[in-house]
């Protein structure tokens, strides 16, 4: 992928040398992906945008620490997941505004009742289970990519997914009775 005539890796190397314009260009390339991932967790536009800002700050501050520039997007998404989980932990007891359905990955389905049921079931999963399910089925990441992104063994990524799917299936079947 190229932006403005510069290959991504070249932009990353420039950004690591504190080239602000290169970093801004890079961040803009991935900003929508960051927003979508944050929104999956916090379920409202305002909080997701706050997380995007936090990701921008953290990634800009720590870009020199990125050892493998080819994993820049993965690195950004990991920061996003960490920021979203931290946000949720800090705001556990805060009542959230009514969910905005605009752009919700679940509500793009033609079978709205099923989509809402699935969304409710996924929301009840543990954070790590929810993350793996979202990365696998809504972001189409491979198990290897998920394991790298979350810094867990490949077998653990698979186990988490299968455990989550079992929970989803069990809860769905309870609801069908």
8-17 pLDDT per residue, tens = 899 999 999 9
67-118 pLDDT per residue, tens = 888 889 889 988 998 899 889 888 876 544 434 444 444 444 455 555 555 6
Q: Whole-prediction pTM value?
A: 0.65
What integer pLDDT is reported at residue 106 of this predicted model? 47
Q: Which domains can be identified in the chain, with CATH numbers?
A: 1-94 (1.10.1740.10), 110-177 (1.10.10.10)
CB atoms within 10 A of CB 122: 20
Cβ-based neighbours of 12, under 8 Å, separated by 6 or more: 22, 26, 63, 66, 69, 72
């Amino acid at each position: 992928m190229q932006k403005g005539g510069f290959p991504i890796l070249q932009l990353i190397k420039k950004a690591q040398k504190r080239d602000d314009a290169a970093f801004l260009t890079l961040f803009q390339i991935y900003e929508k992906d960051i927003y979508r991932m944050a929104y999956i967790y916090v379920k409202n536009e305002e909080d997701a945008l706050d997380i995007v800002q936090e990701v921008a700050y953290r990634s800009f501050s720590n870009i020199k620490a990125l050892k493998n520039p080819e994993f820049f997007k993965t690195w950004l998404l990991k920061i996003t997941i960490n920021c979203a989980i931290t946000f949720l932990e800090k705001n556990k007891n805060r009542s959230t505004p009514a969910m905005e359905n605009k752009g919700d990955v679940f509500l793009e389905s033609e079978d709205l009742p099923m989509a809402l049921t699935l969304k409710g079931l996924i929301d009840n999963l543990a954070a790590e289970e929810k993350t793996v399910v979202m990365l696998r089925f809504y972001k189409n990441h491979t198990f290897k990519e998920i394991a790298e992104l979350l810094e867990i063994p490949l077998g653990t990524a698979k186990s988490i997914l299968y455990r989550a799917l079992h929970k989803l299936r069990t809860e769905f079947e309870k609801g069908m009775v």
